[in-house]
């Protein structure tokens, strides 16, 4: 009994010396409040205890929100760095051939997508000679808008994100069965030129979704347009 009394006295003295130890420990505080409520009896309403429970719930919600904001900030920063690196990589080629090759090589890896395809419209699409059939396609005028809208009467935006099932074999070839989502970047190639389309396909159905923000991809689209205008000039 003497040893127990000494241990209790030691704990008591520690609490008196540093009360914050108890106040900052949620489990200990809950145990103390529960014990106090039992001591009050079932006919007594402890308004202070109710207020503390409400404050605790609010604190939990604030902590969850705080964690969500931090996670979103890190995700946005990672996305920004990825797009910046992709733009730098896109500017490295010194000729159009190397530029096209990057769409199935280094640029593909930097953007972390499974497939990229560049589509250009031309009134002479049937006579066009294509040296990079797995990357570049020449199509008839209006084909790009038709692909973006899937034939529906909807507004065409510079960047369209969507999940696809199944993906188009005309775009992805033998890889169509593996593509689950895609980003469509409509390209303005300058006055007097027909539009282009840069397609990014992913095997991850969650990588491109209609409810995602498009600011970073819109920036990349703008940079890609300027690079294309340089080569076409």
Q: What average pLDDT score do residues 208-220 get? A: 90
Q: What average pLDDT score do residues 122-135 get? A: 64
The whole-angstrom separation of Cα 69 and Cα 87 is 27
- What would the pLDDT profile of 18-30 be if each residue is shown by its tens digit? 777 776 777 777 7
Q: What average pLDDT score do residues 30-53 get? A: 63
Q: Which two tokens stand for residue 187?
A: 């390209």
- What would the pLDDT profile of 159-205 be if each residue is shown by its tens digit? 999 999 888 888 888 888 899 999 999 999 988 889 999 999 999 99
Contact in structure between 136 and 100 (CB atoms under 8 Å): yes
Please check the confidence at residue 129 and state whether its pLDDT lies above 50.
no
The domains located in the chain, with CATH, are 94-232 (3.30.450.40)
- The neighbour count for residue 207, using CB atoms within 10 Å, is 19
Q: Cα angle at 223 between 221 and 224, to 5 degrees?
A: 65
> How much is the mean pLDDT over the chain?
82
Q: What average pLDDT score do residues 43-58 get? A: 66
pLDDT of residue 135: 86
Please check the confidence at residue 45 and state whether its pLDDT lies above 60.
no
For 38-84, the DSSP string reads HHH-TT---HHHHHHHHHHHHHHHHHHHHHHHHHHHHHHHHHHHHHH
Taking CA atoms, 60 is separated from 20, 49, 101, in Å, by 20, 16, 51
The whole-angstrom separation of Cα 228 and Cα 186 is 12
Q: Which two tokens stand for residue 141?
A: 């005028």
pLDDT of residue 105: 85
């Amino acid at each position: 009994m003497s040893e127990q009394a000494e241990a209790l006295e030691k704990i008591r003295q520690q609490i008196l010396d540093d009360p914050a130890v108890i106040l900052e420990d949620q489990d200990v505080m809950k145990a103390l409040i529960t014990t106090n409520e039992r001591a009050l009896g079932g006919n007594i309403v402890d308004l202070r205890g109710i207020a503390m429970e409400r404050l605790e719930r609010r604190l939990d919600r604030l902590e969850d929100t705080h964690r969500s904001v931090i996670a979103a900030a890190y995700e946005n920063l990672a996305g920004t760095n990825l797009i910046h690196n992709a733009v730098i990589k896109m500017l490295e080629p010194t000729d159009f051939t190397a530029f096209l090759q990057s769409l199935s090589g280094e640029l593909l890896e930097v953007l972390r997508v499974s497939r990229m395809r560049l589509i250009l419209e031309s009134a002479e699409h049937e006579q066009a000679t294509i040296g990079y059939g797995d990357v570049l396609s020449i199509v008839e005028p209006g084909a790009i808008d038709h692909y973006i809208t899937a034939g529906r009467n909807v507004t065409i935006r510079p960047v369209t994100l969507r999940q696809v099932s199944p993906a188009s074999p005309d775009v992805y070839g033998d890889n169509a069965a593996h593509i689950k989502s895609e980003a469509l970047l409509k390209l303005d190639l300058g006055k007097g030129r027909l539009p282009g389309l840069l397609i990014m396909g992913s095997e991850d159905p969650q990588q491109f979704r209609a409810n995602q923000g498009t600011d970073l991809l819109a920036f990349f689209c703008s940079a890609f347009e300027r690079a294309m205008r340089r080569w076409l000039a």
